[in-house]
Amino acid sequence: MTETKPSRLAVNQTLAAQTTASMHAGTSTLIETEKLSLSYGQSKALKEISIKIPEKLVTAFIGPSGCGKSTLLRCFNRMNDLIDNVRIEGNIKIAGHNIMSREVDVIELRKRVGMVFQKSNPFPKSIYENIAYALKLQGLRSRSELEGIVENSLRGAALWDEVKDRLHASALGLSGGQQQRLCIARAISIKPEIILMDEPASALDPIATAKIEELILDLKKEFTIVIVTHNMQQAARISDYTAFFYIGTLVEHDRTSKIFTNPTQKQTEDYVTGRFG
């Protein structure tokens, strides 16, 4: 009888999972998936992903287009619930709690796990209202409290000095980079634990991109950040850990310095050195 050898992909997945399990010495895991698979209809976008994401650090997801980075990111605040025909297997825990359980209040989950998208999406309202609106919806009425949170959030997103004299002007009059920082201010105003960022700087010029990167480095003091990026230099500059994905599988997850200087997998090396993708 011939023994079936595990495929190279399966071996890589196991290695990646072992690395992710052992490398976080001195950090605590905030997000953890176990054998997470996701299909859109018949098409499998994530295959048995097991990853541990550390708290209050920046983790970058990299990999060629269509490898499942955004899909995995959207699992962390159950944004995939909004898409028809999605089937998910495996576990996702945040701070040890299963977020896939029926009892989870998804609105509450999304308050804990904020999101910033590739294309900034401010409301067609004033700069002030972009932040105050959600807080008012949550029942906050005190004007002084609202003003305090708006100011702190704009300061936290490194935007206050640029907009403090025009808080009641339309947010749509801001530059693309300012609009993206406003979206980050809006995300942090409700004090999430985690901020998911899906290519937050890909539509911005180098100066606006540098501001967002600086901001991310500052935000990790308070928040856990997971960022999808196609920009290798960006991942190398701002992230502490990097996970490399390929066609729905996690190939390698390690300290960013290791991924970019001495990756374990040849596939990772080929990708980070620009040989494919």
Ligand X SMILES: Nc1ncnc2c1ncn2[C@@H]1O[C@H](COP(=O)(O)OP(=O)(O)OP(=O)(O)O)[C@@H](O)[C@H]1O
Site for ligand X, rule CB under 6 A: 40, 45, 63, 65-71, 83, 228
Nearer to ligand X, 66 or 173 (CB): 66
Beta carbons within 8 Å of 75's beta carbon, 6+ residues apart: 33, 36, 38, 46, 88, 92
Nearer to ligand X among residue 82 and residue 137 (C-beta):
82
* Burial degree of 37 (CB within 10 A; 0-12, 13-18, 19+): middle
Quote the CA–CA distance of 75 and 57 in Å, as a whole number: 19
**Least Cβ distance, residue 232 to ligand X (angstroms):** 13
* Cβ proximity of 243 and 203 under 8 Å: no
Nearest CB to ligand X, comparing residues 130 and 234: 234
Minimum separation from the CB atom of position 31 to ligand X (A): 17
Least CB distance from residue 241 to ligand X, whole Å? 17
Residue spans of beta strands (DSSP E) within 203-259:
224-228, 241-246, 249-255
The nearer residue to ligand X, 29 or 70, going by C-beta atoms, is 70
Shortest distance (Å) from residue 17 CB to ligand X: 19
Report which residue type is found at 27: T
Length of the chain: 277
